[in-house]
A and B are shown apart, each in its own frame.
Chain A
Amino acid sequence: MNEQTDTEIARGLQQGNRDAWLKLYDLYAEKLWRNVARLMGGDPASVADIVQETFLAAARSAGNFDPRRGSLWVWLWAIAKRHVALHYRKCRPNAALTQAQKWWTSLNGQKDDWLQGTEKPPAEVLESRELAELVRYTLEELPAEYQVLLMAKYVDGAAVKQIADQVNGSSIAVRSKLARARKAFRGVFKRLTHRASGMQEVAL
């Protein structure tokens, strides 16, 4: 999965080459499932729906993919992100967010430090469903590229060099974007959680 592979696949896609499509599918199907599942939580039917809609939409527009605009994976994930967002708009109960927000508000501890990464949250916090829900809501509001970077780095545990290959960028650019992605994540997370607590934005 590097720029050359992307270019080869893109050329095949533009020519309507079925093998090129299958190569793309084989490279990314499982990865897409995993990331969609992370964003969707434990609903297998919804995950399957999103994965299916993503690949069908991608198949329809694959001929227009331009590797100069970004990597195949980021392109594919951007499609998935749209479908996840659509799904959430239609089906996600607000109650889940409200409950997670209340839970966060009720926690004691240096929550800002947890977000900054200067302190590790307690195990019971890390293992809670509510935290997972808040992280999902937060990620959902971020651009597709930030989602890709954050999940690759902090969920998959990929090295910066590997991520750079995935997104057809340099290591320096990836580090820089990761910093911006973390900042954006913290910003959205704080906004979501403070909204529930009734705290003023100035507290941030």
Chain B
Amino acid sequence: MRKNKNSDENFTSLLSAIDRQALAPDQEFLKQLRERSAREFAAGAPDVSANTPKSIHIAALRSIIMKSPLVKISVAAVVIIACLIGLSFWRTTGSGIALADVLERIEKVKAFRYKWILKIYGDEASGKPVNVEIRSTDLSSQEHGSRSSVEVLDPNGGESTFTEVYRLPQKKTIIRITPRQKKYEREEIGDAMGERRRKQNDSDPGALVKKILKCRYESMGRSIVDGVEAEGFRTTDPNYNSGGGFKNLQVDVKMWVDVKTRLPVRYEEVTRADFDRNGNRMSQQFVWYDFQWGVPVDPAEFEPVIPDDYTVVTVPKKPAPTEENAIKGLKLYADLSGHYPKNPNWTSYYQWSAFEKSDTSAAQRLKEEIKGLTEEKKANRLRDALLPLHGIGIFYAHLVSKAKDPAYYGETVTPKDADKVLLRWKVSDNEYRVIFGDLHAETVTSEKLAELEKALPK
């Protein structure tokens, strides 16, 4: 026993060496971190008000992420959802005093890093529950483009799916590397998209400021946020996302700006909206945080490192945001399902699962085509076949981002409604372009449009 006691004492002497230079806790720091971590916890915590049972969420996400033959597209689609929705938040103008100053400062920053968390949950129109959580660490550079390290979480605590995304506008290329599958995608982007990404990253927080500026907003005063003294701004104005095609939209957006640097510290956004007339609701929580402004950038950070044993997956070029491609997408959707998508924003509609049970001849033909194929070949065939569907969301997001006052009525208008407005957008001060239910398009005056929209079913 004596030996054991000595052994313990001697071992204590040895290990205690690390305690001699150790620093006492920094109480002020820990006090600030207490609040910051609580915010982080709140951002990542389940929203009990969403009324969606966790067990159902888990099943849904597993179904979306783990089982779908289009798993890669699903993951990419979710990222695209974020980008598309993000775009819709970014492109408006307005005026203000403090926020205008913030905007000016943001536009002078050459490069910045930040993190974001996006949670989407609720029920699809099909009644299928959705629960998606994505976390990302991003670097954005005016000169080089942007880079995201995206993690799609498995709600069961299993292995996450990681994707490195490089958006390289100068090379007109987007590269996505998925280490788990030892694969990478190389997507060529068109001139218009490349130019847009060169001029304004999709993640440009300056556009967020512009978006808030066009809304009624209020100051929340000063407080310590993420360890710095910050001025808070808040808007719950539905105009924040006007034109998004959402019903019963509720938004709650808060942004905190460092009072010293006048640059954003944190941004939180909660959006809830009806997804269809049955009252299915989708919720989205977006939190951006940990901004590091004006960071030095090593160009090497924008050079993807792809190991030799990774295989390339060719990604067909996504449709350009044109009226023609939107019509092609709508036609395909109607052919496959017999109706139009109820909401143009949610690309989850573009998965094969949305048409699997359809008995239209187009859906039956596609089913026959993929019967007996290997999972990989099936996924590739479906990806190619369904690609035109993206034309709908891409075009709609483009209209929103250009503030073209778009409106979409797919929930009530059917392919048989030759005289009813399916989609419209502004083309000049007094003119609107209209795609009708039978997919022919016309330019009409504002007055004519008012008449047409008055005739729409409520």
Q: Please list the residues of chain A having a beta carbon within 8 angstroms of any beta carbon in chain B.
A: 13-18, 21-22, 25-26, 29-30, 33-34, 37-39, 41-42, 44, 47-48, 51-52, 55-56, 58-64, 66, 114-121, 126-129, 131-132, 135-136, 139, 150-151, 153-155, 157, 182
Contacts and interface: CB of A to CB of B under 8 A. Distances in A.
29 contacts: A13-B41, A22-B34, A25-B37, A34-B22, A38-B19, A42-B21, A51-B29, A51-B30, A55-B37, A60-B40, A60-B41, A60-B117, A60-B135, A63-B44, A63-B45, A66-B157, A114-B10, A114-B14, A117-B6, A117-B10, A118-B10, A120-B9, A131-B14, A132-B18, A153-B12, A155-B16, A155-B18, A155-B19, A157-B12
Interface of B: 3, 6-23, 25-26, 29-30, 33-34, 36-38, 40-48, 117, 135, 157
Contacts, number: 146
Report whether over half of chain A's contact residues are helix, strand or loop; otherwise say mixed.
helix
B11 A117 contact: yes
A60 to B, nearest CB: 4
Contacts of A132: 17-18, 20-21
Given A37-B22, A38-B22, A120-B9, A151 B45 contact: no
B23 A47 contact: yes
B291 to A, nearest CB: 14
- Residue of B9, B21, B42 with most chain A CB atoms under a 10 A cut-off: B21
Given A127-B20, A132-B21, A29 B44 contact: no
Nearest to A26: B34
B21 A135 contact: no
A16 B18 CA distance: 37
A126 B37 contact: no
Contacts of A155: 12, 15-16, 18-19
Nearest to B54: A14
Contacts of A22: 34, 38
B13 A120 contact: yes
Given A29-B25, A33-B30, A41-B21, A59 B12 contact: no
Nearest to A30: B25
Given A63-B46, A135-B18, A154 B11 contact: yes
A115 B40 CA distance: 43
